[in-house]
Structure 1
Amino acid sequence: MLIGVDVLRTGELDRLLTRAWFRRYTYAAEELAVADRYGAGRAREFLAGRFAGKEAALKAIRSGVGAGVTPRQVAILREESGAPVVRLSGAAAHRAADLGIAAVQVSIAHKEDLVIAVAIAEQRHEKGDGNV
């Protein structure tokens, strides 16, 4: 199991979120579609949470942005229950596969102007190795 964590103040992204290039570079189309359904304040909070989740997930797969990995390749979508679900693509998916990662789970919490995210990357285990 590999763990990543990230924390930020919601306002840290305010200027960047006004830039179309940043939104395209950072967020998957599905994430932006959800944010577009919200009012400005909730969209800001949502996108900050997704950003923190992406950073935590990248840390869990032992990668940063670079070497072909972009934040958009870590899409944090929703299950029907509303729980976040991580979908890796491109170089992020290749990095996870190289580490034997079967799945990445993320939890995002908001309190006042703070956002924290924790990600756990679950590694595959060989049959008979004694690990669960």
Structure 2
Amino acid sequence: MITGIGLDITELSRIEALDRKSSKFRERVLTAEEMTRYEALTGARKIEFLAGRFAAKEAFAKALGTGIGAACSFQDIAILPAESGAPVLFFRGEPSDGLVSITHTKTAAAAQVILQKPEHNG
């Protein structure tokens, strides 16, 4: 059963400006494991990664119904690749019962999150 849907889109230029200004934005948004992946990237791919994670985390918080704040911080959410490369959601260190899709264009990054609760037959 679907328990929440979230969608977010962000302009790459906005994320690039924040990232160029200081490292504080990326340190607030990315978990340690995500930061390691970010640092391994080069050029525009860094901004796409950061913007995609920002959008996905915003979408997750919207799907959860809390928004980003005391109940759900950027550091509570991680989006890490499965063996296949597909993004997987984690909330407070545990895999989330949800799906995430992240996409990029030349100017924007967008993400959609669908949270679900396993249905019990019986």
Answer whether contact 1:24 1:72 (CA < 8 A) is retained. no
TM-score normalised by the chain length of structure 2:
0.86
- Which structure has more relative contact order (CA 8 Å, sep 6+)? It is 2
Q: Matches of residues 99-114 of structure 1 in structure 2 within 5 Å?
A: 103-114=97-108
Cα distance in 1 for partners of 2:24, 2:98 equals 26
The number of residue pairs the alignment matches comes to: 118
TM-score normalised by the chain length of structure 1:
0.80
Cα distance in 1 for partners of 2:55, 2:89 equals 13
Q: Matches of residues 59-98 of structure 1 in structure 2 within 5 Å?
A: 59-89=62-92
What runs of 5+ residues in structure 1 fail to find an aligned partner? Answer: 94-101
What runs of 5+ residues in structure 2 fail to find an aligned partner? Answer: none
Answer whether contact 2:26 2:50 (CA < 8 A) is retained. no
- The amino acid across from 2:27 in the alignment is R
**Counterpart among 98, 103, 111 of residue 117 in structure 1:** 111
Taking every aligned residue pair, what percent have the same amino acid on both sides?
36
Higher radius of gyration, 1 or 2:
1
